[in-house]
Amino acid sequence: MEFNSFKSLISKVELVPIGGWESHKKMIPKERINFNNKEISNKNPKKAAVLALFYPNNNNETYFLLILRAHYNGTHASQISFPGGKYEKYDENLEKTALRETFEEVGVEIKDVIIKKQMTETFIPPSNFLVSPFIGIINKTPTFIQNHEVKKIIEVKLTDLLKNNTITTKNLSTSYMQNIDVPCFKLNNYTVWGATAMILSEIKDLLKSL
């Protein structure tokens, strides 16, 4: 999709409701225990925020950014995700968290990002994080500078996400479930599952509704 066409499309998102649970559940294995808002609140989850960043490539085609996290001793090591991270007390709000973390991880200047919409919070049981996703755009082709937390930058063409054949299933063992068929996106030959896939599902549904 040409970036100017995308900008025209995304300008309408403020008026369109988001999919919430109906979008998320498409990417959740049936074996997963789902928590209601009260149960999540009782767990006192840590707050985090991520940024789904859309931008033009050198040919003015619309792309968005994913990252492959570096290997470390933690729950989300070596996983595909959006740039983002934990809310810190000096962050003005969760939107600022998403922007700060994106700058720290991939070098995108905060002042260049235009936030278009906040999406549905996503609870991540293994790490007890409640993640707030934001859609943002940048009007130029970014030069990414990855830090030590990022193993690889993954630039995905928006039209690939919007195709009907990018959703599949893969048998995985996770930190809390063994040998289960997990719905996932296949993007740039990477398997994207879990919270990132849930957020992508909601973004995909939102854009296709415009």
The confidence score (pLDDT) of residue 72 equals 63
| Cα distance between residue 207 and residue 210, in whole Å | 5
Segment 17-46, tens digit of pLDDT: 999 999 999 999 886 768 889 999 999 999
Per CATH, the number for 3-209 is 3.90.79.10
Domain coordinates in residue numbering, the chain: 3-209
Per mean pLDDT, which range of 28-32, 148-152, 199-203, 206-210 is the poorest? 28-32
Q: C-alpha distances in angstroms, 140 versus 66, 94, 170?
A: 17, 24, 35
Per mean pLDDT, which range of 26-35, 56-65, 119-128, 157-166 is the poorest? 26-35
Q: Is the pTM of this model over 0.75?
A: yes
The confidence score (pLDDT) of residue 176 equals 63
Contacts of 110 (CB under 8 A, 6+ apart): 99, 100, 102, 103
Evaluated on CA atoms 58, 63, 162, 164, the torsion sign reads positive
Inform me whether the pLDDT recorded for 179 exceeds 80: yes
Inform me whether the pLDDT recorded for 206 exceeds 70: yes
Segment 165-177, tens digit of pLDDT: 999 998 987 666 6
Q: Radius of gyration of the chain from Cα atoms?
A: 16
